[in-house]
Each structure stands twice: as C-alpha cells, then as structure tokens.
Structure 1
Amino acid sequence: MSAKGGTAEKPAQIDVTILGRDYKIACRESERAELMRAVALLDGRMREIRDTGKVAAVDRIAVMAALNLANELLRARAESPSASPSAAAPIDDPRAERRIHAMQSAIDQVMAGQDKLL
C-alpha cells in the first residue's frame, strides 16, 4: 500500500458502526476515508433491507447487501466502455479495489459477530 518516510504504514484499529453494531476494523490511516465511505454505503444498504421487514437476521441482511453491491459492480463493469468481457476481470482502479476490500472487511466483521452468537 502506501509508505510514509520510507517505512510501511501500519494498520490501526478503526471503530465503525454497521446496523447499530460496533466493530473494530484494521485499516491504514491513508485508507480511512475510503473505509468510512464503504461502511456508510454498507450500513445504508443493510438498513434498507432491514427496513423492508422481509429479512430480520443480520447475517442474511449482510449477505443480501453484499449480493446487491456485487450485482451493481458487475452492471457497472458491463456498462463501462472499457469493460472486459469477463465478469471476473481484475479491477484496474486501485481506489475501487480498496473500497471493495474495505466492504469485504466490514462484511467479514459482521459475519464474524454472527458466528459468536450461534
């Protein structure tokens, strides 16, 4: 990732709230703003799904939000003039890739919390 003064930037624990639950997520300071945007996006999507009243379990809400976001990503790739014919093509935009990784991390944190409840 990035370096400061010739040394690698170490991740710090960032406190985030997703669907009313607090999580600590490892994140480099240089990526904090992107993580917070990803958290806000995921939190908003999960709240929308929860508020429909059709899904109550947090793990199912997280999976539905992840599927919706993945679907949007695939549509955006397909609509892009430079889109590759393969849906599994590597992501060329480093910012988009970092946002996706931040969202994956947030989803993993939510799902890990569910494992402890079972």
Structure 2
Amino acid sequence: MKQIEVHILQQSYLLSCPEGHESRLLEAVERVDTAMTRIRDAGKVRARERIAVLAALNLAFEVADREAAAPVAPAPAAAPALHQEPALTDGDEQRLRHLVHRLDEALGDDGRLL
C-alpha cells in the first residue's frame, strides 16, 4: 500500500492506495474537492461536514443517473459472475427523488441538494 497526501477543501488528508491505482485515487479526490468547493462557494453552507454530506449525495445521485442511462453489458459466459447492483426501478427512482425532496426541505435556507 502506498500513502498519498491529498487536499480536499484546503484540508490535508493522508490516504492509503494500492500500488498502481494512484491516478484513479487522484481523479476521485479531484471530483470530491470540486463538488465540495462548488457547495462551499455557493455561500449557503459553511459547515465542512454538511458540505461533505451534500457532495457525497450529489455524486451518488450522478452515479445512479449514469447507471440508469447506460445499461451494463452482460458478462461473457466464461467469465465468473461478479456481484452487480440491480438497476433502479421506476419505484426506486421515485423514492430517490422523494428523498432528495425531503432533504431539500430539511436543509431549508442552507441550500438545495441538487
């Protein structure tokens, strides 16, 4: 394991990373830092913990949207089966949107989730 020092929202973190995966980790750090910076710079949310939660939710929502838009190709017959998350159903999407709406209401003047 390799350790890499990164900065997210101007705070330093020492992260462990498997050898050869440094570039993927740095890309992930950049995404998180960008998402958190946007929320902070909007000026409505100041608490670092709240910014982190909002950024995580926004990024998770983006991933769910991408997964719903791009169906996963079936694995070749000879390949071992890997665990795959089931696709979102219409009911799942509706519950997710309802959750986002409830979070927006709870945040009030702190800012909207999306």
Q: TM class by shorter-chain length?
A: 0.5 to 0.7
Q: Deviations over 1:45-92 (max 9, x none)?
A: 1000000011100000000000000000000011113387534xxxxx
1:19 is aligned to: 9
Q: Which runs of 4+ in 1 moved over 6 A?
A: none
In the superposition, the TM-score normalised over structure 2's length comes to 0.63
Q: Provide structure 1 residue ranges, at least 5 long, that are not aligned to the other structure.
A: 1-10, 88-118
Q: Provide structure 2 residue ranges, at least 5 long, that are not aligned to the other structure.
A: 74-84, 89-114
In the superposition, the TM-score normalised over structure 1's length comes to 0.61
1:8 is aligned to: none
Higher normalized contact order (CA 8 Å, seq sep 6+, divided by chain length): 1
Which of 54, 63, 72 is residue 62 of structure 2 equivalent to? 72
What percentage of residue pairs aligned between the two structures are identical? 45
Higher-Rg structure is 2
Number of residue pairs matched by the alignment: 77
2:87 is aligned to: 86
